[in-house]
């Protein structure tokens, strides 16, 4: 019996692959056999080195997703360097914190442009390639704030709620074309984006006390979900937002 989770011969774009969640997902896909196009503003040298050590091809693609300018190039470079495109993981994202009464237009636009606008247009660019070949897997990275309101992160909450909605819309449009579009909603994961929360002794304690698993997640905890949604094991899963949260939403 063939392994439905085997990604041998597949090519995956992972944005924001240099650290944290993006690196964890990229390495999980590589371990399952996928070649990796590691996209980021800073070179994902460590990720590429570790992926290659797993025996797969991996290439760095430098791109700043604060605008949509590089989206077409990302797809073109991936196909040119790695021979195709089967999987897209939209992980690149930023967060800005301030009280809603004081939140600036600059911080609003920066987060929406990176987290939502660039996500859509990279889905579009990859989707055109995938529709032409009749297959593909797209995984968007949502958030607990795709379900909840949060505090002091209005543009982040809006963007991640938008990612959840966009995931469902694209699934509705593209499922019949052989493309699966789903999302992963990470819980509280220990990354550079959550450094401030981890350093706040009171907030950190409150977070851990609410998580049934009683710990912060690690980037590697998302790997299994990513491999599932990137593989043939999820061929009949469409428009789903999969929470990987240690039980946070169940509490």
Residue pair 94/143 in contact (Cβ under 8 Å)? The answer is no
pLDDT in tens, 175-227: 999 999 999 999 999 988 788 889 999 999 999 999 999 999 999 999 999 99
Phi and psi dihedrals of 241, rounded to 5? -110, 105
Domains defined for the chain, CATH in brackets:
11-191+219-245 (3.40.50.720)
pLDDT in tens, 115-138: 999 999 999 999 999 999 999 999
* Strands of 35-40's sheet in order across: 58-62, 35-40, 11-15, 87-90, 136-141, 179-186, 241-244
Across 154-174, average pLDDT: 98
Residue pair 192/95 in contact (Cβ under 8 Å)? The answer is no
Report the mean per-residue pLDDT for the chain. 97
Residues 53, 55: Cα–Cα separation, whole Å: 5
Q: Catalytic site residues?
A: 156
Q: Check residue 192 and give its pLDDT.
A: 82
Q: Is the pLDDT of residue 1 over 70?
A: no
Across 154-176, average pLDDT: 98
């Amino acid at each position: 019996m063939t392994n439905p989770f085997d990604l041998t011969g597949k090519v995956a774009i992972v944005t924001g692959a240099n650290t944290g969640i993006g690196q964890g997902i990229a390495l999980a896909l590589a371990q399952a056999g996928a070649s990796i196009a590691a996209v980021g503003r800073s070179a994902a040298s460590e990720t590429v080195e570790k992926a290659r050590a797993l025996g797969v091809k991996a290439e760095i693609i430098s791109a700043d997703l604060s605008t949509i300018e590089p989206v077409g190039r990302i797809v073109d470079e991936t196909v040119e360097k790695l021979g195709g495109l089967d999987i897209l993981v939209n992980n690149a994202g930023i967060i800005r914190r301030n009280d809603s009464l004081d939140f600036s237009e600059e911080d609003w636009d920066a987060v929406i442009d990176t987290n939502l606008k660039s996500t859509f247009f990279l889905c579009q660019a990859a989707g055109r390639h995938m529709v032409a070949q009749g297959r593909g897997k797209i995984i968007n990275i949502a958030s607990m704030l795709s379900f909840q309101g949060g505090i002091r992160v209005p543009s982040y909450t809006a963007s991640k709620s938008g990612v959840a909605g966009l995931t469902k819309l694209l699934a509705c449009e593209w499922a019949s074309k052989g493309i699966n579009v789903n999302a992963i909603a990470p819980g509280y994961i220990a990354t550079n984006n959550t450094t401030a929360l981890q350093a706040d002794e009171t907030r950190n304690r409150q977070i851990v006390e609410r998580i049934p698993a009683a710990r912060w997640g690690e980037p590697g905890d998302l790997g299994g979900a990513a491999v599932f949604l990137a593989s043939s094991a999820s061929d009949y899963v469409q428009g789903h937002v999969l929470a990987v949260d240690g039980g946070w939403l169940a509490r």
